[in-house]
Amino acid sequence: MLHGTSRGPLRLSLSRQELALIGITAIWGSTFLVVREAMTVSGPFFFVGLRFLSAGVISVLVFHRALRGLSWKEVGAGAAIGLSICLGYGGQTVGLQTISSSMSAFITALYVPLVPLIQWAVFRRAPKAMTWIGVGLAFVGLVLIAGPSALSFSLGPGEIVTMIATIPIAAEVILIGLFAGRYDVVRVTVVQLFAAGLFSLSLMPATGETVPEFSWLWLVPAVGLGAASCLIQATMNWAQKSVSPTNATIIYAGEPVWGGVVGRIAGERLPALALLGAAFIVVGVIVSDLKPKRRDGTIEEDDFRGEPASASSATPAAEPATAAPAEAGRRPSVLGDGTSESDAAPARP
């Protein structure tokens, strides 16, 4: 974070939670090429369903002991987040079948300003001024990455579905921030992974999707990305206990930047406009963490965070500083000490 000090107005000090979010955003963005290849042999909801069921199975194998004492409230919280994941990922993937990646990235970027607006409307917590500036910079950056071609479009089925998908994408970030400090992170993560997979598979009949012919091109990516999703979702649940949904969203906006880096390594060339957009996003992340001192000398705090877990709702597994697997989906060594180890049309595959 950037905080005010007695020696000067501001200093740079990103928390380990913010660094962890930057790390999983890099993983997130690097998976786009894999998802795009898998979509040539699989339908969107089948692939998303298999991916998250794989993530759920992996999380159970690693953290099965933490599931003791699972409550219905934790099931409800995980199911709500899982449904948001299903509708967000699934809707965007459906849109990618008829619109370009740049168009999808441009439309999906709407979730960046949506998060603080929904947060303000629902929770009556107005984001601080620097957060609004950071959101604006990140949104402009995403638009620049999408490119000029994305600015001229008609509202066809693909565009409409992608636009609707930005609502559950924003809801996912907000719900994670809401539940992160109230319930056991491990148990909620396991439930949300299974819920996202089951909801996605249940939507296949409604969309006319069928089980594809067997291919290693969808099986290997689904299982591999399942492991990545397990890590990503658990890290989000852990980190957003102390990082506000709006600030987390600005960090997530860097996803297409990392996707562009991986694409460049794979031989793709980034246009100058995309590089400028990446710079806007980086500046947005920094600006959103500016915390000027108030007149009374205190530091302006984040706009929203999950409430601290009560003694009755939190288990030792949910305490980052004391538990062995403190958070689900991540390796025990990461969870135990709380340090970070560190999908998408260029935004969320």
| 347: helix, strand or coil | strand
Question: What pLDDT shows up at residue 167?
Answer: 93
345 within some domain: no
The 3-class secondary structure across 146-192, one letter per residue, is HCHHHHCCCCCHHHHHHHHHHHHHHHHHHHHHHHCCCCCHHHHHHHH
Residue 210 burial (C-beta neighbours within 10 Å; 0-12, 13-18, 19+): exposed
Q: What is the mean pLDDT of each run of 10 residues along the chain (349 residues)?
A: 46 78 86 79 92 96 89 96 93 80 72 85 79 85 73 74 91 90 91 96 92 94 94 92 87 77 67 78 76 56 47 37 34 33 40
346 within some domain: no
CA atoms within 13 A on the CB side of 286: 9
Question: What pLDDT shows up at residue 237?
Answer: 92
344 within some domain: no
Work out how many domains the chain is built from and give that number: 1
Question: What pLDDT shows up at residue 158?
Answer: 84
Distance CA 77, CA 42 (A): 30
User: Which strands, in side-by-side order, build the sheet including 11-12?
Assistant: 11-12, 2-3, 290-291
Question: What pLDDT shows up at residue 4?
Answer: 47
18 within some domain: yes
DSSP state of 321: T
349 within some domain: no
Question: What pLDDT shows up at residue 332?
Answer: 32
343 within some domain: no
Distances, alpha carbon 270 to alpha carbons 46, 49, 66, 275, 280, in Å: 31, 32, 44, 7, 15
DSSP state of 31: T
Question: What pLDDT shows up at residue 266?
Answer: 66
What phi and psi, each to the nearest 5 degrees, are found at residue 305? -145, 160
Question: What pLDDT shows up at residue 338?
Answer: 34
Question: What pLDDT shows up at residue 30?
Answer: 77
- Expressed as residue numbers, the domain containing 181 is 2-308+316-337
Distance CA 235, CA 329 (A): 8
126 within some domain: yes
154 within some domain: yes
